[in-house]
Structure 1
Amino acid sequence: MALKTLLVSTKSEPIVRTTAKEFMFGYPSTLATLGNTFLPNWISFEKVGLIDRMYDFSTDFETFYTGVPNPAISGLYATYRGETKLPQWEQDHCNNIEYASDGTKFKSFIKPNETVKFFRKSMCRPINLYRVGEEKTYGSLKGYSYVFEDNAFDNGVTNKANKCFCRKGKYR
């Protein structure tokens, strides 16, 4: 009932007609604007689109480690928007992006059982990657395969560490 009241009071439609460009890159939405007004840390946009926020860097600024004095962490996140933690989550497992990779460069000198942290703003969260399989060699390059942890997007029912991705620890 609350959703219907919200839709009626904002004169929003549950299904809208858009062009392909609007669908992909965003169209104005009263609900998104309302969310942005009352929950700016959670909804930081005023339009809705499949990939619009993925390529919207207008409010982003990121700091990456240069590798001095530790070359192993060059190219990894130091901060995102001036912070090492995402404001929408509590607890380090859910909010800490420091030393995460954005996928363009991963940590160097990785030990076999070391976890790799991955962060993309479009996922709104850091995710751990784990090494699987044996070392692979391509010419003189050595490589490893990594996968997301099991139940990476679980709400805390199976992966208890992910409970902090739910508001006030409630996942039901």
Structure 2
Amino acid sequence: MENDIFTVPNVPLLGIGSFLSSYNIFVRLGFNAMTASTKEFVNVTVKEYLWGYEDHLVTLASTYVPNWIDFPTFGVMDRLTTLDRDNTITLNLKETKDQLGNKILPYSISTFNGSPGLKEWNYQEVGENETSELNSECNMVEGTFEAGLFPKNLAENTTLRLYRRAFCRSVLFNFENKSITEDGFEVFHYRTDKNYMASGDNYPENKCYCVKGKCLPDGFTNLAPCYYGIPIAISQPHFYNADDKFLKEIDGLEPDREKHDTTAVINPNIGITLSAHLRIQVNLLIADSSLPKVRKFSKMMLPLLWIELEVLPPSAYVKFLMCFVIYVMPITQTVLMWLLGILGISMVAAAALIIFYFPPERRLEDPYGHRIGYSPILVIPLSNRLRDTRIS
């Protein structure tokens, strides 16, 4: 499978070409000269497309502008997963509030790489008890959850936000309903908010994702600030919840709510995810370009791939541990609490009875003990007469 060869768009060519489309004519002429022999489509294996293959344009860029392109080969998944490596995350261990006054739940992110917000989306660092009008839930990671661990005793209708560095933004989950599984566990069903990828022009809460004042249409988020300025945009698979005009440009797209929406099933008692399907599509946003190699793709949202991060249902061993934690431990804890309480009361009562019925012996104080020169040691007086014991 991974060695199967298929034909795909030349992402480095189209991406860098789209990025340079607004530069002056000399830059564009130089780009045309460098890519004269480069084709718009390439034949690569599945493994190469996902994890890296050598490309002439990427090699040149990494050699001459290493501060911009710092990788020698290009792979779609390789670039996405790079951002998820070597990150430093601090968590909130108790309920608190963020700088906006919103409630922060336990086990949520406090800072990500030292900051509670995303500078890519113009988050401004502020001092304690200070705020900035540029800071909003849109560009903050404080209060989001990085993995599948949530607070115990989760309340119904609690809204959750998940953050993945590769997606360069948080994903909003709304409570949908609750049910009981076949194993008897109570679960909450969550689904992504229908507006979480709405255009900032139509949904002000997403305004921070507009790059240089330009917002993408409904259903897309621009990731260019996180990926070298290359016009990468994410959406839901098959342009689900996106503007219908994009469906007409690509053949074979059939958006389906059950197949392409993102969902999660969470046990509220201990706050663990029992199953989840996080689905994201990666697209290349081609600008209106006059470059010959890019012109035929102008103003197109070109799908590159869509991925699904899945949390599988728990194994039998995990279910056993869940039963123990949810059902056995609370009963055991209550029984032990009462037993220890009864034992403690019994010991105190026993001590009181012993003192009452068997008081300690009282020692009489010697009235002469305080006199000077008095000694409590008995002195045996010597006889006045001495018997002569000498042998004559």
TM-score (norm 2): 0.36
* RMSD of aligned Cα (Å): 3.3
Is 2:82 the partner of 1:56? Answer: yes
CA apart distance, 1:66: 6.5
> Radius of gyration: which is bigger?
2
Deviates more, 1:124-133 or 1:57-66: 57-66
Name the counterpart of 1:137.
180
5 Å-filtered alignment, 1:17-166, equals: 17-27=43-53, 30=57, 33=62, 37-38=67-68, 47-56=73-82, 60-65=86-91, 67=93, 69-70=94-95, 73-74=106-107, 76-90=108-122, 91-133=135-177, 135-138=178-181, 139-166=183-210
The whole-number CA distance in structure 1 between the counterparts of 2:90 and 2:151 is: 12
CA apart distance, 1:153: 1.5
**SS of residue matched to 1:16:** strand
CA apart distance, 1:10: 4.9
CA apart distance, 1:62: 2.8
The whole-number CA distance in structure 2 between the counterparts of 1:20 and 1:128 is: 32
Q: CA distance change for structure 1 residues 137 and 93 in 2, over 3 Å: closer, same or farther?
A: same
The whole-number CA distance in structure 1 between the counterparts of 2:65 and 2:110 is: 29
Q: CA distance change for structure 1 residues 58 and 153 in 2, over 3 Å: closer, same or farther?
A: closer
The whole-number CA distance in structure 1 between the counterparts of 2:40 and 2:164 is: 28
Name the counterpart of 2:32.
8
TM-score (norm 1): 0.73
**SS of residue matched to 2:179:** strand
**SS of residue matched to 2:32:** helix
CA apart distance, 1:84: 1.6
Contact 1:25 1:49 in 2 (8 A): yes
The whole-number CA distance in structure 1 between the counterparts of 2:193 and 2:120 is: 21
**SS of residue matched to 2:116:** coil
CA apart distance, 1:65: 2.1
Percent identity for Structure 1 against Structure 2: 22
**SS of residue matched to 1:55:** helix
Number of corresponding residues: 164
